[in-house]
Amino acid sequence: MRLLRYVILMSCTLALACLVGFVALCMRIDSYGRIDRAQPTDAIVVLGAKVLPGGQPGPDLKSRTEHAVGLYQAGMAPRLICAGGAAGDPMSAASVCRSVASALQVPAEVIFLADGPSNTEQEAGQVASVMGEHGWRSAVLVSHPLHVYRAKLFFERQGLTVYTSPTTTNVDGIDLPFRTYYAIREAAGILWPYLHQMGFRSEWTLALQEWVYSAAP
């Protein structure tokens, strides 16, 4: 009986510690996007987002691209790298980003594509490949304020020096229910690769993967 009580107590303590840690991670994600850390680098990376059926950028992709162009015009880097979407697809996030940037007077020769990836972890790998071909090692990452923390972790794992620049630092201006949902989803996205490496292949972890990587705005 004592052993059972001990096991229950330890299980509850572990569960509480995990919950506290997860909440702390969500709060870190929420706070990290409140600061623009952009500084001069080799490239400005626009992370992929939704493209509308007609080939127009979704609101998030539009704001990311326009923000990146502003950084380019401010001299933060001499080139842009547009990421995301099927390779060679004219309606991929990368291709649409390039079109928007070109329309904003960014020269075509300084816009590079890192298409092919379907999630942030893959984007980090593809962008690192493009940068490695040219000897570039540092980048400003442009994305949604609640996405930049997770993106930074993936890009740093590729050996790149990265600085984040959210499309807005007014995180409090984001609708609270969506902000809470997004922070939880991003925290789950940070934990998923570790679960994957540990060999978890259960239905709930597969559902977690689908939720994280298919629900981006």
Q: Give every CB contact of residue 104 below 8 A, 6+ residues apart in sequence.
A: 65, 66, 69
Q: Residue 201 is part of which domain span?
A: 175-214
Same domain, residue pair 48 and 127: yes
CATH number at residue 159: 3.40.50.620
Q: Indicate whether 25 belongs to any domain.
A: no
How many whole angstroms separate alpha carbon 217 and alpha carbon 213? Answer: 10
pLDDT in tens, the chain (217 residues): 676 676 677 778 877 787 888 889 899 999 999 999 999 999 999 999 889 988 899 999 999 999 999 999 999 999 999 998 888 788 899 999 999 999 999 999 999 999 887 788 889 999 999 999 999 999 999 999 999 999 999 999 999 999 999 999 999 988 888 899 889 888 988 887 665 555 555 454 455 445 444 444 4
Same domain, residue pair 66 and 125: yes
Same domain, residue pair 102 and 78: yes
Same domain, residue pair 204 and 126: no
Same domain, residue pair 51 and 156: yes
Same domain, residue pair 51 and 102: yes
Same domain, residue pair 104 and 205: no
pTM reported for the whole predicted model:
0.84
Q: Indicate whether 118 belongs to any domain.
A: yes
Q: Indicate whether 13 belongs to any domain.
A: no
Same domain, residue pair 105 and 185: no
* 8 Å CB contact between 80 and 68: yes
Q: Indicate whether 31 belongs to any domain.
A: no
Q: Indicate whether 47 belongs to any domain.
A: yes
How many whole angstroms separate alpha carbon 147 and alpha carbon 164? Answer: 10
CA angle in degrees (0–180, nearest 5) for 169-55-46: 35
Same domain, residue pair 141 and 206: no
